[in-house]
Amino acid sequence: MDPVTQGVLGASIACAVSNKNNVKVAAICGLVGGLIPDLDILIKSEQDSLLSVEYHRHFTHSLFFVPIISLLAAVFLFPLIKKFTNFKNIYIYSFVGVLSHGLLDACTSYGTSLLWPFSNTRVSWNIISIIDPIFTFIIIIFFLICIIKKSIKVVRIGLGLSFSYLILCIFQYQQVKSFVFDNSKNRGHEIERILLNPTIGNNILWRTVYQFNGNYYVDAVYKPIFSKSKLINGNKIKVINKETIYPELGEDSKLRQDIRRFSYFSQDYIFLHPDIDNVIADLRYGKLPYDYNPLWGIKVDPKNKNQHAKFISLRNFKNQDYEDFWNLLKGKIANQNNEISNVQTFSGPMGMGLAKSYLQNGQKVCLYNTINGQDKLIYNDINTKCPKNFEKID
C-alpha cells in the first residue's frame, strides 16, 4: 500500500488503543511504526537488481518480526518523547503501527512474506489496490478529526468504516471470481488456477488471469457495486516453466536461479514477452487490465548464463492508455469486434519491411512496406513474433 495510507492507518490504530491525553504521542508512534517496515527498500545491489525486488515486503513485513521491529522503533522514539509518556506505551503504539503495515499489504496483490521464516508463501488476498483513494480518504478524515478534537471515539468510527470498506472489497472479489468461473465454463475451460486484481485506485475494474491447458487467459471485468459484471475480452498467453525455459541454462546456473527468484516474486505468473527478445515478464499487472503489456520483467542473456538477469521497468504509458483506462472505469466498454490494441511501430532499412503490428479479433496483424505497396500477415497465435520482412503464408 502507499506510504501515506500505511502511516495514517498505523497512527489511527495507535490512537484507537490510547487515551485522550496520549493521542498525539500515540499518533507519532503509530505513524513511525506504520512506515518503518518499508525501509526494506534500502536493500539494493548494483550487481544483482533482483535483490531489492526479492526483499521488499519480506522479513520486515513478517508477523513474527513485529515485536523486534516495534522494539527498534520504540528505542528510536523514546529519547525524543519520553517526557510525554513511558516506554511501555511507546512500544505498544509502535507495535500496532508495525502490525498494521504487513496486514494491510497482504490485502493487496503484490505479495507479502507475512509468515516468514515459517513459510515462504507471499500472501496476497487481492481485495484492494495498492492505491485506493476511498480507503485512504476515510482513514485521513477521521484521523485528522481525532487529532483536532482529541476524540478516540471518532478515530474508532473511522477505523470501523474503513474495515467495512475492506469487507465490501471482499464481496466484490467473490462476485468477480464467480463471474470469471461462469465465463470460463462458457468457453469450455476448466480453471487450473486464478488471479484477480483490482486495478489502480478502484475496486470496480478488475484484471483477471486464469490458467487452462497450457495458456493464460487475461481479461478485464467491470463490476459496479450495484450492477452486473461485464467482461472485456483480452489475450491468450502461453504458460512457461521456470525450470525448462531456455534449456541451455541448465539447472544450477545463475540465470536459472534468477528466473526462479523472479517467478517466486511473480507468484509463478510469468511469460515470455512476445514483442521483446529474451524478456520474462510478470503477468499480474498490465498497462490495461485486459492486455499482456507488463509493468516489469527481467532481461536474460542465454549466452552468459552465469551473469545475473536484469530487472527492468516496462512502463511505457501513452495518453491513449490513460484515456482507455478512464473509459473502462466509467463503464464505456467499446465494441471489441474490431478494436485494435497493443500497437507497435517499427522502422526498417529505407522504410521497407515490418512497419507496424497490432492485435485485433484475437489475432496478431503484421503490416509491411514492400516495393508493391503495403502487405500484411495475420496470425491466430498472438504470441507469434512478426518476421522482419514480408513473406506470404501458404
Q: Cα–Cα distance between 284 and 278 in angstroms, integer?
A: 19
Question: Which residues fall within 8 angstroms of residue 160, CB to CB, at 6 or more apart?
Answer: none
What pLDDT, on a 0 to 100 scale, did the predictor assign at position 352? 87
pLDDT tens string 95-113: 999 999 999 999 999 999 9
Q: Which three cell numbers stand for residue 158?
A: 473511522
pLDDT tens string 346-358: 887 878 899 998 8
Read off the pLDDT of each residue in 13-41 and give the average, rounded to a whole number. Answer: 96
Q: What is the pTM of this model?
A: 0.84
pLDDT at 391 over 90: no
Amino acid 388 reads: K
Q: What are phi and psi of 251, to 5 degrees?
A: -95, -30
Nearest to 245 by CA among 294, 201, 279, 198: 279
Dihedral sign for Cα atoms in the order 124, 130, 132, 135: positive
Provide the pLDDT confidence category of residue 337 given band limits of 50, 70 and 90.
very low
Read off the pLDDT of each residue in 28-33 and give the average, rounded to a whole number. Answer: 98
Place of cell 525448462: 244
pLDDT tens string 220-241: 999 999 899 999 999 899 999 9
pLDDT at 199 over 70: yes
pLDDT at 394 over 90: no
Decide if 233 contacts 290 (C-beta within 8 A): yes
pLDDT at 188 over 70: yes
Burial class (CB in 10 A: 0-12, 13-18, 19+), 3: exposed
Domain range list for the chain: 3-169, 187-319, 335-394
pLDDT tens string 373-383: 888 898 877 77
